[in-house]
Structure 1
Amino acid sequence: MTDTHENQPPKAACAWLVRLPEIFEGIAADVLQRFGAISSTRLGQDYYLIKTATPEAIQRSEVAKFARWNLPMDHTWPCNAQKMDGFIEKAAQTLIKKFGERKPQGIFIGTLHPTSPDKYYKGLASNLRGRVLQLFPKLAAGAVEEQDATAETLFCLVGKEGLFCGMQSPRASNGLYAGGSKYIDQDAPDTISRAGAKIAEALHYLLLHRPPLKEGSHWLELGACPGGMTSELLARGQRVTAIDRAPLDKRLDGRPGLKFVLADVAEFQPRAGTTYDALLCDMNGPPEESIEQVIRLSRSLKKGGLVVFTLKVPRIENVEEPCELFRLIASMSKAAGLSLLAQTHLTYNRHEFTLFLEKPRD
């Protein structure tokens, strides 16, 4: 009998753009190797252009959690746009010729250096998108949050390294924006802490996987002090029961929709019959202990209730230890009846990942 696998030709390598947050720079080579990278070129602050015969590993392998965003490279144009006459028109004509018949639901263009103080490429990206939209027929998604998470979008990134484009669904890419990140202004005068940016981005990311919670939904927040996340939830019309041993920022005093309980999370017990739509945990300390409290209190979640859990890793010095800790937390959650909906590394995460869990609807 002939082994059919032996007769199959090897897969051809394809170009792929992956975004590994700068905090993972020390393990980037190992992660890229596990993605099957035959070669890699660093672009921008934390992008890598790789060639791989196993792109499925980027989205479905155990180390996929280290890639914040990914995109197949259907068109790459290494160039210095700043020194080129007519770059916008040349690029726009190329995009309509190459992608017009594929009918993307939307077109979104970002920069390879999104946090750079130099605004040139941010302006270039905006002007290029404007010209491209003039050439394409009317698109179904004119704004980021209008996208169908499962339909293909044309994403492009531009920078001093050139123009890099591809089509893929936002869910497969792991983000609704080109580059995957929604940047939040942390310098606003009413900002209580950077944790507020985390939950704001987390709720945006969640649109990839389920509809947003209705206004007036009731959240149970564990370890809420000083109240950065609490403030963001209240600003979105949510109700919050916040638990912490330390008081919240005084700016939250008297806010409608807020109930604060000054107590240790481990000692808190909801009043009989109380149910919540969602549970939020960003507590410090060993994640094994934090998830035990989440599991205990998830009994008060409604069917289909959401859990947003920050998995805090002591240090990320290799690939194996974070993955082992992740497996433990996922296993504990599953045993308690909570299903893992998604996981990602948000822009405002450090040595941590954000996990999204759900309570069964049946």
Structure 2
Amino acid sequence: MSSADPAAAPVSAPAPTPQPWLVRISEVFAPVAEQVLARFGASTHTRLGADFYSIKTATPEAIRQSPAAVLARWNIPLEHSWPCHPAKMEGFVEKAAQTLIKKFGARTPQQLLIGQLNPGSPDPYYKSLASNLRGRALQLFPPMKAKGVEDQDSQSPTLFCLVGKEGLFCGLSTPQSANGFYAGGSLYVAKDTPDTISRAGAKIAEALHYLKLYRPALTPGSHWLELGACPGGMTSELLVREFRVTALDRSPLDRRLFQNPALVFHQMDVAEFRPAREDRYDAILNDMNGEPDESIRQVIRLSRQLRRKGIIVFTLKLPKVETVGAPLELRDEIVAKADASGLKLFSQTHLTYNRHELTLFFEKAAE
């Protein structure tokens, strides 16, 4: 028997080169952050700011495609890293701006946005630094196609940068792929004004902003069915946007809301509500407390009154998050029940104003 030809032996493909990436995992999920990063294939990681992680992974697609992606609020490829201490560096703004135009100018980003690695810090220095750096860089770049944050095309590249005491970190990504229009992914909403009814108002304001990553905004006059409305923080935000709202809760709403004729309120258990046959809604908002199984059951029942292509914004209340698997299993159960009833998940995220919650976005399939 002749020996095997060495030339015919299979040649193994070279191992993929680990790529740098910046990932944001909310402090709410800090106990399982290591598990999430492991699912992204992170071979190394460094924590930056409050909840950002610089990682290297040979499977960057997992950051956006893994089931655990819902626990990561925002991400970009890390194409420029400058570890430094800007507050101690003379001429930081000019040096950084010149580097940005040299490295990214020819790639014509639609917009340049710069945020903070620690946006919750009371120290105004880095907020001012981010603003000054953006102002100087925009003087160097050609005019940007997108004039404002929400003028961005969700599927065209934006240059996102984050700055903090750890340095400057940048990358090009579409807003949809990054999972947010802003650098860092958060829309911050004033939630402690004299007219604020509850912090939940900030949550739906951010959810409506997030929806623009995937579809045009609902027009004024669109009819929302709100489940679990008390005390009315979300109701107030919907009314401010000139939507019609039918709100349900066993507890009363804030009396200030009843001055708006676009509101109809039923003080009753959601399970007891029976809309008229002719009633139709453009969207359902669910923020009910209680078991998720019961919440999705009521949403499915009432979704029969949704117009074709109507949307559902569903707050999934999570138990204490101690492992990655538990919240993902619960999410999968809820999504499977919705899907079986013709409600198709088109996005999911952890909003800035979510706590132990995820926000799921469904669309009613064509009848």
**TM-score of the aligned structures, taking structure 1 as reference length:** 0.98
Q: Residue 118 of structure 2 is aligned with which of 108, 113, 116?
A: 113
Using the TM superposition, give the Cα deviation of residue 144 of structure 1 relative to its aligned residue in structure 2, in angstroms: 0.5
Moved more, 253-262 or 186-195: 253-262
Give identity over the alignment, percent: 62
Distance 2:9 2:335 in 1: 37
Distance 1:332 1:149 in 2: 29
Counterpart of 2:292 in structure 1 is: 287
Using the TM superposition, give the Cα deviation of residue 164 of structure 1 relative to its aligned residue in structure 2, in angstroms: 0.1
Write out per-residue CA displacement over residues 214-252 of structure 1, whole angstroms, 9 at most, x where no aligned residue.
011000001111000000000011110001111101111
Alignment of 1:325-336 (within 5 A): 325-336=330-341
Distance 1:290 1:306 in 2: 16
Counterpart of 1:323 in structure 2 is: 328
Counterpart of 1:30 in structure 2 is: 35
Q: Radius of gyration: which is bigger?
A: 2
Distance 2:299 2:236 in 1: 21
Write out per-residue CA displacement over residues 56-87 of structure 1, whole angstroms, 9 at most, x where no aligned residue.
11101010001000010110000111111111
1:168 and 2:173 are equivalent in the alignment: yes
Alignment of 1:270-285 (within 5 A): 270-285=275-290
Write out per-residue CA displacement over residues 322-349 of structure 1, whole angstroms, 9 at most, x where no aligned residue.
0110110000000000000100000010
Q: Residue 151 of structure 2 is aligned with which of 137, 143, 146?
A: 146
Distance 1:95 1:251, change over 3 A: same
Q: Residue 216 of structure 2 is aligned with which of 198, 211, 215?
A: 211
1:156 and 2:161 are equivalent in the alignment: yes
| Counterpart residue type for residue 159 of structure 1 | G
Distance 1:17 1:278 in 2: 34
1:224 and 2:247 are equivalent in the alignment: no
Counterpart of 1:68 in structure 2 is: 73
1:124 and 2:129 are equivalent in the alignment: yes
Using the TM superposition, give the Cα deviation of residue 115 of structure 1 relative to its aligned residue in structure 2, in angstroms: 1.0
Q: Residue 239 of structure 1 is aligned with which of 241, 244, 253?
A: 244
Write out per-residue CA displacement over residues 135-179 of structure 1, whole angstroms, 9 at most, x where no aligned residue.
010111121100000000000000000000000000000000000
Using the TM superposition, give the Cα deviation of residue 360 of structure 1 relative to its aligned residue in structure 2, in angstroms: 1.7
Aligned residues, how many?
A: 361
| Counterpart residue type for residue 181 of structure 1 | S
Counterpart of 2:5 in structure 1 is: none
Distance 2:329 2:264 in 1: 36
Instruction: Provide the secondary structure at the position in 1 that maps to 2:159.
Output: strand
Distance 2:223 2:183 in 1: 32
| Counterpart residue type for residue 184 of structure 1 | V
1:248 and 2:253 are equivalent in the alignment: yes
Counterpart of 1:14 in structure 2 is: 19
Using the TM superposition, give the Cα deviation of residue 256 of structure 1 relative to its aligned residue in structure 2, in angstroms: 2.5
| Counterpart residue type for residue 23 of structure 1 | V
Counterpart of 1:46 in structure 2 is: 51
1:195 and 2:200 are equivalent in the alignment: yes
Using the TM superposition, give the Cα deviation of residue 3 of structure 1 relative to its aligned residue in structure 2, in angstroms: 9.7
Instruction: Provide the secondary structure at the position in 2 that maps to 1:355.
Output: strand
Instruction: Provide the secondary structure at the position in 1 that maps to 2:259.
Output: coil
Instruction: Provide the secondary structure at the position in 2 that maps to 1:253.
Output: helix
Counterpart of 1:186 in structure 2 is: 191
Distance 2:246 2:359 in 1: 21
Q: Residue 301 of structure 2 is aligned with which of 296, 302, 308?
A: 296
Distance 1:140 1:106 in 2: 7
Counterpart of 2:98 in structure 1 is: 93
| Counterpart residue type for residue 155 of structure 2 | T
**TM-score of the aligned structures, taking structure 2 as reference length:** 0.97
Using the TM superposition, give the Cα deviation of residue 8 of structure 1 relative to its aligned residue in structure 2, in angstroms: 1.7
Instruction: Provide the secondary structure at the position in 1 that maps to 2:352.
Output: coil
Structure 1 stretches lacking a partner, 5+ long: none
| Counterpart residue type for residue 296 of structure 1 | R
Distance 2:31 2:14 in 1: 35
| Counterpart residue type for residue 102 of structure 1 | R
Moved more, 109-118 or 252-261: 252-261
Distance 1:212 1:361, change over 3 A: farther
Distance 1:167 1:355 in 2: 26
Counterpart of 2:4 in structure 1 is: none
